[in-house]
Amino acid sequence: MNLDFLQDKSILVTGGTGSFGQRCVRTLLAQSLAKKIIIFSRDEMKQSEMQATLSDPREQLRFFIGDVRDLERLQRAFAGVDYVIHAAALKQVPMVEYNPFEAVKTNILGTQNVVNAAIDQGVEKVILVSTDKAANPANLYGATKLCAEKLVVNGNVYSGEGGTLFSVVRYGNVLGSRGSLLKIIEQQRPSGELTITHEEMTRFWITLDQGVNFVLDCLRAMHGGELFIPKIPSMRIKDFMLSLAPECRLRTVGIRPGEKLHEVLVTVEEARRVKEFSTHYVILPEHDDWYALLHPHYAEGQAVADGFFYSSQKNGEWLDMTRLYELLNKV
């Protein structure tokens, strides 16, 4: 991965103490010549613990305590920043369903604050880390992330020509992140029984490193207004669990409120504006003028067939046990 574009640049990660944020910061420290790497998050304990585990001989790191709900704090944090990776979000589906006002404040209004602060402070590029749950959302988390995507993509209209560029990355379930299925299996395995919501449920899978590398590559390549989606494999939840804990029995507990049987990364409606490449898809903006402006940058991409959609149960790439273990060795 080429991170030469970050040389002598300042980059800020919102939600910098989360699973994605921490792996992203470590990647930046190891592989980039960034002038400054800023971790922006609201939990001082997590910042303290993270700081204690990081080696920074060039003193690139800065830790900012703050909340994306606080526009004034974002304005201060973004001063002199070239690139922002916006990964801060409330994402645990059951908790978000029970605390909807809080999810709206962080995921939607917080994203609006990020857009406004970036424009006001002259940030060069902002990229949002989104989720497959934003495509045809069935729960509040997905709905708030869909709103966040719309705010970021259309932030380009507010920034105007020569202003801040905004784009989005959308991908699936992350292996090994906090609250992931791996963690649940670890917790339940000693009992000899694993709970599953539906035996036919499927999900997309990506490792943290793959997610970080894809986001950074999209940050380099973006022109503003795109939504980037990696081509990643699918697997049934049942097969995933039995591959990792074959000695356990499964107990079906039923699909939870707001949970989908299968996930979607590109909807039928979005497919009309999709360009396909060997490793990813790019969804171009809805506005005709904007689409025409971006189209030359993606002229080599292939249009997808009418009725195309990219979902976890219709995926052309599936994980078997061998490939699953190969991915897990990289977690």
- Per DSSP, the three-state class of 159 is helix
Q: Are 206 and 175 in contact (CB under 8 A)?
A: yes
Amino acid found at 128: L
> Closest Cα to residue 229, out of 105, 132, 92, 122?
132
DSSP classification of residue 109: I
Write out the catalytic residue numbers.
133
- Beta strand 165-171 with 125-131: parallel, antiparallel or unpaired? parallel
Token pair for 318 = 């599936």
DSSP result, 62-99? EEEE--TT-HHHHHHHHTT-SEEEE------HHHHHH-
Token pair for 24 = 């992203």
DSSP classification of residue 12: E
